[in-house]
């Protein structure tokens, strides 16, 4: 194995992945795609009992899946804690099975953790946010072990970037993006 091949394997091994659901994956994908240290954000489905679900199936609320994003990041650049602080402040983690007008189990607030360390960090971040009283109601985000992630159909990927003029993007995503960019300006990709 060449030095370059060894280095690329090491680099791949130094990445971390977390899977998060906070309502419509279009919003969450757009936000995390702009964070420094985040290398890939993929929209998809997780947490249900149907293999390879379609968007139409997930939208019924009968598959058990949530709309999620799978985030691959470099923990030397951005910590899981920082990612989770952003996550818990860019969606409402106090509403069960809903984000704004999006209602159903597919829109629930959920974190699929990989390993005890991710679970512990999630618990720590939730305690800190609740102690700081960032939200008036208790956080109801599900914290459950990761099992499987199914990529969303191609037309969902990079939805905001590709459809910025679409009404949903203008009315729902754009205001969230502005608030996110204003609040986390120091964490954005340069």
- Contact between 142 and 109 (Cβ < 8 Å): yes
Catalytic residue set: 24
- Contact between 160 and 173 (Cβ < 8 Å): yes
Closest CA to 17 of 68, 76, 73: 73
What are phi and psi for residue 53, nearest 5 degrees? -70, 155
Rounded CA Rg of the chain: 16
Which bin fits 43, alpha (ψ -120 to 50), beta or left (φ > 0)? beta
**Which residue has tokens 């992630």?**
149
Could you tell me whether strands 109-113 and 142-145 are parallel, antiparallel, or unpaired per DSSP bridges?
parallel
**Which residue has tokens 């650049």?**
77
Q: For CA atoms 87, 89, 95, 99, give the dihedral sign.
A: negative
d(CA 42, CA 72) in angstroms, rounded, equals 9
């Amino acid at each position: 194995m060449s030095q370059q091949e060894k280095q690329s394997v090491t680099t791949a091994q130094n990445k971390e992945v977390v899977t998060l659901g906070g309502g419509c994956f279009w919003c969450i994908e757009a936000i995390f795609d702009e964070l420094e240290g985040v290398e890939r954000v993929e929209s998809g489905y997780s947490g249900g009992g149907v293999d390879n679900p379609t968007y139409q199936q997930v939208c019924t609320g009968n598959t058990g899946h949530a709309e999620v994003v799978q985030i691959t990041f470099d923990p030397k650049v951005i910590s899981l804690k920082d990612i989770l602080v952003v996550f818990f402040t860019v969606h409402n983690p106090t509403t069960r099975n809903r984000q704004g007008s999006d209602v159903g189990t597919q829109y629930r607030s959920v974190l699929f953790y990989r390993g005890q360390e991710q679970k512990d960090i999630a618990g720590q971040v939730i305690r800190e946010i609740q102690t700081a009283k960032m939200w008036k109601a208790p956080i109801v985000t599900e914290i459950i072990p990761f099992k499987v992630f199914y990529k969303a159909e191609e037309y969902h990927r990079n939805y905001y970037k590709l459809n910025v003029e679409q009404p949903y993007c203008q009315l729902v995503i754009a205001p969230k993006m502005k608030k996110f960019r204003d609040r986390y300006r120091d964490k954005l990709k340069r």
